[in-house]
């Protein structure tokens, strides 16, 4: 298809064109072409093709340029537009910000101005994909670039290896976007490389993904929180100390000795053990300080009361995590944040351990309400934060990726969020969150940040490692209908009948 010309570069009053800005007049009528802010345009030049984004669009009309003349004419009782052919004088002017120049040597920074009179075109899909660092096929297709019929297919490695974050206010479409992302990951054929997926579903929003009607039914397994059991034998003393932060380092060392002894004895007999076994061993040990012993036993009983600790692990993560499969841990039935954090902590610890040993496939961990699990708070309120931060720092080496989702990024661990190299930012209104996003998202400029409050539902800006430049994307329609779309009225009627 022939390249579509839409405008001509003009000399602006703001010393443009210059290397960082140019203006052009739209040479097509509004019926023929709707020019919008955020669009990409291209200007051919001797060295290659300059690609730019439309940073602003405005209209001029000489008939309406003088307020006093407009007022004077309209005192006649007729509008200016009814006296003169004013619509014929309306011109659309666009300000564009060059992003770079595509040359034979690759994409380079623009260091010279474009020439007035040059023709402005709408870039073809392949040019835009190349420039923005998108895949033509086989990528993670999140939707289309706003105002362009170009799919946003993110390269899997660039998107996930160095972690990602999805940030937005409630109702902006975070979970929808996650569903789209999961559909893409679940649809990948073996030859493209499939990864395992683990999703912590805090509100039970993703249960429907595993329904029999779902096209991905066979590739999804859901575990309610109540069914989850920790394999006590898999836990080290340090982890007990994380679950119960009041355990001192001396006590942790004593507990470690007991656990090593138990592990050795039970492994020889091909047996496992429970917290009761640890308590018995503690009671029998005569070397431990009595006060430490009593404190440790007390805390172990407290942990046992959570009913999370058993002789064996369920589900067995090593077995359920398979390429192209999604495992959902439904935490919605639990009200205790501490229990939810303990589950997340245990599972992540195990996953990371298995990945380091190569026992499970490369895995993406998707975490809803991340600010609950890795808050910037003291440790007893952030039990799962250390392992999340560990994976954030070291996960890329072992292909263990995090996708942190949050509506309150300002409350999240800075360490974790700063390691998320790709941000999918949807509508955010809170000025503190916006400011935090501005500081923590690499590659986001002030102009892009300013547009975030105005994003609509299902609209997102992608910045960071997955793309070469910030991209505004309209998230595609889901293939599954998993969300509970009941209205408040419907929910009230259901309860009442």
Partner 1 sequence: MGMHNKIDDAIDNISKKIIAYNEHRKLFQDLFRKVKKSLNPSEFPSAFGIKTKDSFFTVKVPKTNIDGLKVAGVDGGVIHRTLNYFDIALIRAVGVLFLHQKDDKPQVRYFPEEQPFPDILTSIEPLSQNEIDTLISIWRMQKEIRCGISLLEEDMPDIIILDGSVLPFIDYKQVNQSEFLMSQYRNLKTLYRRLYSLCEKNRTALCGVVKDSRSAILTNKLAALLPHLGKMPEFEQLLKIDYRPIVKQLRDTDLLYQVLDVDERTFEFFLSNFNDDTDQELKDFDIHCFYLKTAEFDAPLRVEFPLLFSNQHDLAQKISALVIAVSRYNPEYGLPSVIIEADARARLQETDADILVDEISAKIGYSSFSLQRRRSRLPFKAGD
**Residues contributing to the site for partner 1 (CB under 8 A):** 62, 68-69, 72-73, 75-76, 78, 81-89
Packed helices 385-394 and 337-357: angle between N→C axes, nearest 10 degrees: 30
- Of 61 and 229, nearer to partner 1 (C-beta) is 61
Q: How far is the CB of 77 from partner 1 (least distance, A)?
A: 9
283-293 burial string, b = 16+ CB within 10 Å, else e? eeeeebeeebb
Q: How far is the CB of 371 from partner 1 (least distance, A)?
A: 57
In whole angstroms, how close is the CB of 10 to partner 1 at the nearest point? Answer: 12
Record the tokens describing residue 135, joined without a space.
């895949």
Choice between 72 and 493, CB closer to partner 1: 72
CA 478 to chain centre: 17
Do you find a cis peptide bond into 252, omega within 30 degrees of 0?
A: no
Sign for the pseudo-dihedral over CA of 440, 445, 448, 450: positive
Residues 6+ apart with CB under 8 A from 355: 362, 363, 398, 399, 400
Distance of alpha carbon 203 from alpha carbon 196, whole angstroms: 21
Q: Give the shortest CB-45-to-partner 1 separation in angstroms.
A: 21
- Closest contact distance (angstroms) between CB of 85 and partner 1 is 4
Complex with partner 1: residue 62 or 359, whichever CB lies closer: 62
> Which residue, 34 or 79, has its beta carbon nearer to partner 1?
79
Nearer to partner 1, 71 or 357 (CB): 71
CB of 70 or CB of 320, closer to partner 1: 70
In the bound complex, what is the minimum distance in angstroms from residue 409's beta carbon to partner 1? 52
DSSP 3-state of 291: helix
DSSP string for 247-261: S-HHHHHHHHHHHHH
Quote the least distance from Cβ 82 to partner 1, whole Å. 5
Which pairing describes strands 196-201 and 363-367: parallel, antiparallel, or unpaired? parallel
Token representation of residue 27? 């040479």
What distance in Å separates the CA atoms of residue 158 and residue 142, rounded to the nearest whole number?
14
Extract the tokens encoding 6.
Answer: 């839409």
Q: Which residue has the tokens 């910045």?
A: 463
Nearer to partner 1, 70 or 107 (CB): 70
Query: Closest approach of Cβ 50 to partner 1, in Å?
Result: 24
Residue 246 phi, psi (nearest 5):
-75, -15
Smallest distance from the beta carbon of 60 to partner 1, in angstroms?
Answer: 13
Whether 404 and 202 have beta carbons less than 8 Å apart is answered as no
Q: Which is nearer to partner 1, 85 or 189 (CB)?
A: 85
Instruction: Please name the helix (run of DSSP H) or strand (run of DSSP E) that holds residue 343, with its range, or none.
Output: helix 337-357
Residue whose C-alpha is closest to residue 425's, from 174, 176, 142, 175: 174
Q: Are 153 and 143 contacting, i.e. CB atoms less than 8 angstroms apart? A: no
Q: Are strands 140-145 and 220-224 parallel, antiparallel or unpaired?
A: unpaired
Q: Which is nearer to partner 1, 61 or 256 (CB)?
A: 61
Q: How many CB atoms neighbour CB 210 within 10 A?
A: 20
If the CB atoms of residues 80 and 295 are measured against partner 1, the closer one turns out to be: 80
Q: How far is the CB of 115 from partner 1 (least distance, A)?
A: 14
Cβ proximity to partner 1: between 66 and 249 the closer is: 66
Shortest Cβ distance from residue 65 to partner 1 (Å)? 11
């Amino acid at each position: 298809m022939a390249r579509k010309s839409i405008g001509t570069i003009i000399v602006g009053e703001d010393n443009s064109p210059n290397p960082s800005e140019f203006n052009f007049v739209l040479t097509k009528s509004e019926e023929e072409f709707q020019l919008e802010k955020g669009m990409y345009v291209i200007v051919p030049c001797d060295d290659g093709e300059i690609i730019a984004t439309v940073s602003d669009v405005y209209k001029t009309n000489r008939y309406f340029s003088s307020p006093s003349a407009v007022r004077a004419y309209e005192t006649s009782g007729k509008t200016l537009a009814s006296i003169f052919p004013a619509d014929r004088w309306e011109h659309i002017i666009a300000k564009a910000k060059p992003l770079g120049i595509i040359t034979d040597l690759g994409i380079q920074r623009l260091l010279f101005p474009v020439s007035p009179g040059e023709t402005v075109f709408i870039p073809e899909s392949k040019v835009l994909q190349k420039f923005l660092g998108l895949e033509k096929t086989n990528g993670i297709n999140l939707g289309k670039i706003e105002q362009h019929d170009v799919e946003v297919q993110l390269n899997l490695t660039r998107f996930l290896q160095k972690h990602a974050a999805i940030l937005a206010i409630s109702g902006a479409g975070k979970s929808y976007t996650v569903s789209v992302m999961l559909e893409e990951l679940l649809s990948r054929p073996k030859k493209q490389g499939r990864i395992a997926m683990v999703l912590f579903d805090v509100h039970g929003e993703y249960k429907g993904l595993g329904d029999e009607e779902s096209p991905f039914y066979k590739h999804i397994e859901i575990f309610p929180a109540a069914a989850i059991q920790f394999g006590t034998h898999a836990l080290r003393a340090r982890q007990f100390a994380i679950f119960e932060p009041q355990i001192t380092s001396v006590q942790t060392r004593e507990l470690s000795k007991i656990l090593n002894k138990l592990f050795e004895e039970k492994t020889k007999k091909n047996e496992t053990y429970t917290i009761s076994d640890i308590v018995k061993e503690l009671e029998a040990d005569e070397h431990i300080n009595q006060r430490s012993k009593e404190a440790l036993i007390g805390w172990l009983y407290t942990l046992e009361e959570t009913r999370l600790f058993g002789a064996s692990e369920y589900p067995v993560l090593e077995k359920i995590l398979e390429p192209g499969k999604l495992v959902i841990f439904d935490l919605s039935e639990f009200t205790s944040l501490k229990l939810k954090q303990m589950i997340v902590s245990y599972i992540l610890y195990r996953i990371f351990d298995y990945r380091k040993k190569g026992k499970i496939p490369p895995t993406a961990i998707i975490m809803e309400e991340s600010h609950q699990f890795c808050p910037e708070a003291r440790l007893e309120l952030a039990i799962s934060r250390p392992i999340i931060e560990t994976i954030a720092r070291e996960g890329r080496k072992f292909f263990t990726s995090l996708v942190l989702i949050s509506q309150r990024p300002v409350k999240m661990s800075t360490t974790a969020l700063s390691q998320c190299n790709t941000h999918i930012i949807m509508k955010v209104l809170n000025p503190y969150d916006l400011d935090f996003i501005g500081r923590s998202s690499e590659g986001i400029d002030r102009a892009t940040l300013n547009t975030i409050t105005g994003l609509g539902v299902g609209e997102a800006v992608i910045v960071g490692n997955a793309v070469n430049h910030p991209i505004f994307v309209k998230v595609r329609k889901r293939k599954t209908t998993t969300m509970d779309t009941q209205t408040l009225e419907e929910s009230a009627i259901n309860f009442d009948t």
